[in-house]
Amino acid sequence: MAQNTLIVKQRYRLGKGGARQVRREGNIPSILYGRETEPIPLVVNPNDLKEALSTEAGENTLLEIKIQGDGEELSKLALLRDIQFDYLTSRPIHLDFQEVLMKEKLHVKVPVKFIGIASGVRNEHGILEEILREIEIECFPTDIPNFFEVDVSELGLGDSIHIGDLRISEGLTVLHEHDDTVVTVLAPKVEEEPVVEVVGVEVAEGAEKAEAEEKGVEEREEKE
């Protein structure tokens, strides 16, 4: 489990106008919520957030959020649960953090890290298709893995790795079916040969046939 610290400020300018002002200052309006905590509006510096999440766990990094208010500081353990992006600039415009209670299990999505080159790709020109790039699990916060490593080196054409094939650490409950496919190797696509219509030849042959028929008619008429 990766853990880091994120220093933020409590946000007092609420509503759409307040959020716009926060964005104009280059920060991200955010909210921290939890079962035992009243929602706390926050102001997050995007550079500080990027640094805090620069671990192998990425967005699953357990964050100690230090909230600076008017003359006081409050500390909460939390996970980043949602990022809203501006559809034009792709910049984050709002963040949701969920408070973490160490004695309660969480539902989290853990990224899959594929390693190796499948033999079916290397030797038979197959196509590696990654079906699941995240695996949803339930566990205590201290047990959240940074990622699941899946070695695809031995996969030939038509071979697959399923959820049931993965080595799952004790304390993790996978929220997928046992036979759900994680990755597979597909056969290479066969390109069909284009059908070439020799229009010119067909036209020429048709013209020759018509000319021969016309000549035959003329010869019969002369005999008559």
Average pLDDT, the chain: 87
Q: What is the pLDDT of residue 198?
A: 57
Let me know if residue 202 belongs to a domain: no
| Judgement on whether residues 86 and 119 belong to the same structural domain of the protein | no
Strand partners, 73: 68
Q: Does residue 120 contact residue 159 with C-beta atoms inside 8 Å?
A: yes
The predicted-structure confidence for 139-188, as pLDDT tens digits, reads as follows 999 999 999 999 999 999 999 999 999 999 999 999 999 999 999 999 98
Q: Is 210 helix (H, G, I), strand (E, B) or coil?
A: helix
Q: Is 74 helix (H, G, I), strand (E, B) or coil?
A: strand
| Domain span at 132 | 107-186
Q: Any idea what the CATH number is for the domain that residue 151 is in?
A: 2.170.120.20
Let me know if residue 91 belongs to a domain: yes
| Judgement on whether residues 7 and 90 belong to the same structural domain of the protein | yes
**Could you say which of 66, 101, 136 is where a domain stops?**
101
All residues at 6 or more sequence positions from 28 whose CB lies less than 8 Å from its CB, including other chains:
22, 43, 44, 45, 46, 49, 92, 93, 94, 95
Mean pLDDT of all residues in 187-215: 61
Exposure of 183 by Cβ count < 10 A (0-12 exposed, 13-18 middle, 19+ buried)?
buried
Let me know if residue 208 belongs to a domain: no
- Tokens linked to 62: 């357990």
Q: Does residue 67 contact residue 8 with C-beta atoms inside 8 Å?
A: yes
Let me know if residue 81 belongs to a domain: yes
DSSP letters spanning 80-132: EEEEEE-TTT--EEEEEEEE--TTS-EEEEEEEEEES--HHHHTT--EEEE--
In the predicted model, is pLDDT for residue 45 greater than 90? Answer: yes
**Could you say which of 75, 101, 127 is where a domain stops?**
101
Let me know if residue 209 belongs to a domain: no
Let me know if residue 74 belongs to a domain: yes
- The radius of gyration computed from the CA coordinates of the chain, to the nearest angstrom, equals 32
| Judgement on whether residues 146 and 177 belong to the same structural domain of the protein | yes
| Judgement on whether residues 15 and 93 belong to the same structural domain of the protein | yes
| Judgement on whether residues 92 and 177 belong to the same structural domain of the protein | no
Q: Does residue 135 contact residue 163 with C-beta atoms inside 8 Å?
A: yes
The predicted-structure confidence for 114-145, as pLDDT tens digits, reads as follows 999 999 999 999 999 999 999 999 999 999 99
Q: Is 143 helix (H, G, I), strand (E, B) or coil?
A: helix
Amino acid at 45: N
Pairing status of strand 106-115 against strand 134-139:
antiparallel
Is the Cα dihedral 172, 178, 184, 189 positive or negative?
negative
pTM, two decimal places: 0.75
The predicted-structure confidence for 51-83, as pLDDT tens digits, reads as follows 999 998 999 999 999 999 887 889 999 999 999
